Amino acid sequence: MKTVAIYSSKGGVGKTATAVNLAYAASVSGQRTLLCDMDSQGAASYYFRIKAKKKFNSDKLLDGDIARNIRGTDFSGLDLLPAHFSFRNLDLALNELSKKKRRQALAKLFAPFAEEYDILFLDCPPNLTLLSENIIEAADILVCPVVPTTLSLIALEQLLKLFKKLNADRNKIIAFFSMVERRKSMHLATMDKYSKYPLFLKTFIPYLAEIEKMGILRQPVGATARQSPAARQYEKLWQEVLQRGEPV
Ligand SMILES: Nc1ncnc2c1ncn2[C@@H]1O[C@H](COP(=O)(O)OP(=O)(O)OP(=O)(O)O)[C@@H](O)[C@H]1O
Ligand SMILES: [Mg+2]
């Protein structure tokens, strides 16, 4: 099993849209896929019309009580661990663990699923905290959506800084441009300047109304219209992530 975290400390950059659509693309290509919604906002769970059981919470997650909380989605080969509102306390709970266990807790939790799934996706909350350190530790690949604007790039710089502090392998980081609006000169100029860096994939995700509409239709774009521009672009993104990260 390879773990792919969709991560940025910046909010609203398209992490959840990416996690949902890449997980769907992976499952369609035959990978046994588990998507874990790590964000207490529960947006990924919402897109699949799934709610966590009332009894599930952040303590149970950290106790490893995961298997019975995983739910099947409407799509074959794609399961979901829904977020619970209490996940907002994950950082506090992680902080209470011994120093030795604190950073590896998440990686240990998902290790028992290594035989059952080919790919584990983590939809991450917009944080730069102990939970983020756990995510970095657990992930084989960190896919980072970057809106081609200054603040989004700063988030990427902060991530690189955190990698340095943790002495983590920065080859894990794969960035791509997200929510691109070609009519905005700043977007074009930023992409022009940064796309030469090997950190960035060639594929980018444009700002598309059909991606926004996922909030109404509540399913991955490929499930609504397989041949739509958005579905094709996410498929292309997944193929490039696979090529770059060789996760399978
Ligand atoms: N490529 C896109 N084109 C148009 N709308 C998009 C695109 N990507 C995401 N959106 C919309 O932008 C909003 C934010 O996207 P999303 O929830 O995926 O971001 P996020 O990084 O997960 O946010 P958060 O940090 O709050 O978790 C959502 O309403 C989503 O539908
Ligand atoms: Mg999100």
Residue range 93-144, pLDDT digits in tens: 999 999 889 999 999 999 999 999 999 999 999 999 999 999 999 999 999 9
Q: Parallel, antiparallel, or unpaired: how do β-strands 141-146 and 2-6 relate? A: parallel
Residue 126 Cβ < 6 Å to ligand 1: yes
Neighbours of ion ligand 2 (CB under 5 A): 15-16, 43
What pLDDT does residue 149 have?
96
Question: Any idea which architecture 2-245 has in CATH?
Answer: 3-Layer(aba) Sandwich (3.40)
User: Which atom of ligand 1 is found nearest the CA of 213?
Assistant: 31
83 lines ligand 1 (CB under 6 A): no
Q: How far is the CA of 221 from the centre of ligand 1 (A)?
A: 13
Summarize the confidence of residues 24-40 as an average pLDDT: 98
Give first-to-last CA distance, the chain, whole Å: 8
Residue-range domain boundaries for the chain:
2-245
Q: Which helix (H) or strand (E) holds 99?
A: helix 99-102
pLDDT band for position 245 (50/70/90)? confident
Q: pLDDT by residue (tens digit) across 202-213?
A: 999 999 999 999
Q: Which atom of ligand 1 is nearest to the CA of 214?
A: 31
Which residues are 79's β-sheet partners? 34, 72
CA of 47 to the centre of ligand 1 (A): 12
What gap in Å lies between CA 208 and CA 93, rounded to an integer? 38
Least distant ligand from the CA of 229:
1
Q: Is the CB of 163 under 6 A from ligand 1?
A: no
In the three-class reduction of DSSP (H, G, I as helix; E, B as strand; rest coil), residue 26 is classed as helix
